[in-house]
Amino acid sequence: VLAGHGNWILSLAFSPDGRQLASGSADHTARLWDIEGSKPLRVFAGHGGWVRSVAYTPDGHALVTGSDDQTVRLWDTKTGELRHYLQGTMRWVDLIQFSPDGRMVMSASIGGAVRLWDVDSGGLLHLLQDRQAPTRALTFSHDGALAACGSDDHAVRVWDSRTGALVWVLQGHHG
């Protein structure tokens, strides 16, 4: 049992090597855990709301967190230092996904906005979708060239991640 959060656990992500687990909580923190030793390694504090999403870079050197405070934060997993404070969302951040090369991160909010961020600079690359239906799923293609989201409007949208251009809208889910 990994105990330490003061409220609900809302998100989990294993490190790429499987030795650590990151957790996001309604206590406004994310934590990094050593799985084998069952001990906390680091606490990432600073969010002003629930930490709804956590994800590792493919190399495991950074962790990204998304929160009710309308920010995305990129943390160094070795030092615990905040590398980037990504601002510009209009609602809380529910979903986060790294590109396969770790150079971009995609975030989505319950309000439907999907944003693509540059990991090195912390800058916004593209606002892919704004105020459609709530977004429930995110993914990148294996080469990172395409970014996709699935929403409550029963559609999957696919963009070119380099240009931000909408490539396809796939419809057909019902119910």
pLDDT band at 4 (very low <50, low <70, confident <90, very high): confident
- Per-residue confidence (pLDDT) for residue 107, from 0 to 100: 94
- Per-residue confidence (pLDDT) for residue 38, from 0 to 100: 80
More confident residue, 86 or 82: 82
- Per-residue confidence (pLDDT) for residue 90, from 0 to 100: 65
- Per-residue confidence (pLDDT) for residue 51, from 0 to 100: 95
- Per-residue confidence (pLDDT) for residue 23, from 0 to 100: 94
Instruction: Give the tens place of pLDDT for each residue, 122-160.
Output: 999 999 876 668 888 999 999 999 999 998 888 899 999
State the Cα torsion 123-87-29-92 to the nearest 10°.
Answer: -120
Instruction: Give the tens place of pLDDT for each residue, 97-116.
Output: 999 999 999 999 877 789 99
- Distance (Å, whole) CA 120 – CA 14: 22
Instruction: Give the tens place of pLDDT for each residue, 7-46.
Output: 789 999 999 999 999 999 999 999 999 988 788 899 999 9
Instruction: Give the tens place of pLDDT for each residue, 45-72.
Output: 999 899 999 999 999 999 999 999 988 9
Among 34, 8, 12, residue whose Cα is nearest residue 23: 12
| pTM summary value | 0.89
Exposed/middle/buried for residue 174 (C-beta within 10 Å: 0-12, 13-18, 19+): exposed
Answer whether residue 1 shows pLDDT above 60. no
Answer whether residue 174 shows pLDDT above 80. no
